[in-house]
Chains A and B, each alone.
Chain A
Amino acid sequence: MPVEQQGDTRIWRRRDRKAAWQHFGVTLAVAALVVFCAKIISDQTTWEFVGSAPMQGADLAMRMWPPQLGYIAELWGPVVDTIHIATLGTILGVMIASPLAFLAANNTTPSKVFVRPVALALLVTSRSVNSIIWALMLVVIFGPGMLSGIIAIALRSVGFCGKLLYEAIEEIDAHTVEAVSSTGASRLQVLTFGVIPQIAPAFAGISVYRWDINIREATVLGLVGAGGIGMALQGAIDTLAWSRVSVIFLVILATVVLSEWVSAKARAAVI
């Protein structure tokens, strides 16, 4: 904190003059950027539609109410499919992510120059492409259905789990690893005795956490044809059957809440 001398008084400020100007400049630049962006969005928006949004919303709500509860009976299959997609996709994703994480972590990678960047690039690629977009591509290749959904979920989970996992690996206690390697243990033994026990809880926690996210993701994969309850949603929206849409929303909500509960319990049990 800078202190300025002015005559006899010492003036204390949070920032000195230069820092204050810099701070002001950055704030101004960010504000200008936001206003500029908002202007672009605003120009592309038909404000009459936005103005009528409350009416549209009310209209939509009226059509959704009352929900056609009898429709629930037809939704069991899709819900179970959704859960299967999430679970199998998570398992597959974690199976691919684990070796990649070891290749990407600073302290376990066999080569910082060659292997690590490749592993990191694969993880970023997987992470930057949303599972819906993966599904769009996979539906082209494998056709509509659960298989595309499972692989889409897996491909997206690789980046997520891989990143968290390699960060966990980089945070392990180095002395423990030193201790194991000072007994004359081989690389693989150091990994299994020194590294894996340290990351095991993180590994389980990350998997369960991702599974929870994947349940949500799997509910919408059907919108592009990759199986699960999203297919039913797409059908209902296409036929403007809003009283069915509301039922599907309720079912999705219940599934998500349930999965959150399960994952919280499972994580508590693991740690």
Chain B
Amino acid sequence: MLTLKGLHKRYPDGFVALPSVDLEVPTGQLVALIGPSGAGKSTLIRCINRLVEPTSGSVKLGEQELTTLSRGELRRARRRIAMIFQDYALVDRLTVMENVLSGRLGYVSFWQSWMRRFPQADVDRAFELLETVGLKGLHDRRADALSGGQRQRVGIARALMQQPELLLVDEPTASLDPRTARQVMQLLGDLCKAHNLTAIINIHDVPLARAYTDRIVGLQAGNVVFDGKPQELTDAVLPEIYGGEDWNKDAESDQAAAPAEDDGVAA
């Protein structure tokens, strides 16, 4: 269970990204966070693991309050929260295996990580995860030798390596082609179900959000303007989130195309 209460972020230049956000995400739920660019989606999820320091308010993961933790405590708390990035954020010059194992950095000593001597259990798990995400045999490739979809799979494996309770996903599909994007969303959905993971996914693509998540939260200018089941996110509601009226047509045709391709992927 993740609980945000009165979460407020004001940047040093005076810009208020989040006026005051309240949100509760029960364990095992897959939440999509949608909204136009600059709505504060990225800020919101970065405030949860404090890559961005929230100005005020409370973030609770289970019973633990995250906003007041000291540096060392935050480090330990971060082990429970994994993150997946739009631009994959892999370390390009390290191998796939090293990238995946970097998910365990919070658990091993500096010297272990320096010498790349991770516990055998971690190595075993890394091999398993690489198979799960469909990258079997690529462990010694350098990360920059992979395609976009493969890189995002490494990012997912790295996140799961942490054995997290909470998954923060920042625009996982924005840099991918439509087909790969669906595959990645499918994979994320399956993995969250399998591990009973709570996940918050920032996503631009409304049809994808409708197809693969349990709940959709619409953010505009840092305010929650929609919160409901995917079915409840009707085309009438969308302009409220994104503003404007004329974009519905595109969304409809997009949506019509989506299920057809889904079947192809699943099969």
Contacts and interface: CB of A to CB of B under 8 A. Distances in A.
Contacts of B105: 180, 183-186, 189, 193
Interface residues on A, range: 20 to 34
Given A189-B110, A192-B113, A193-B102, A182 B91 contact: no
A59 interface: no
B85 A179 contact: yes
Contacts of A176: 89-92
A185 B83 contact: no
B53 interface: no
Nearest to A195: B91
Residue with the highest number of chain A CB atoms closer than 10 Å, among B93, B107, B158: B93
B79 A183 contact: yes
Interface residues of B, number: 32
Contact of B110 (A178, A188, A194, A201): A188
A192 B114 contact: yes
A198 B93 CA distance: 7
A185 B77 CA distance: 11
B92 A198 contact: yes
B81 A197 contact: no
B94 A183 contact: no
- State the main secondary structure of chain A at its contact with B: helix
A251 interface: no
Contact of B78 (A183, A192, A200): A183
Nearest to B170: A175
Interface of B: 49, 51, 75-79, 81-83, 85, 87, 89-94, 98, 102-107, 110, 113-114, 155, 158, 162, 168
Given A179-B90, A183-B78, 16 more contacts: A179-B83, A180-B102, A180-B105, A182-B82, A183-B158, A184-B78, A184-B107, A185-B102, A185-B105, A185-B106, A185-B113, A192-B114, A193-B113, A197-B94, A198-B93, A201-B93
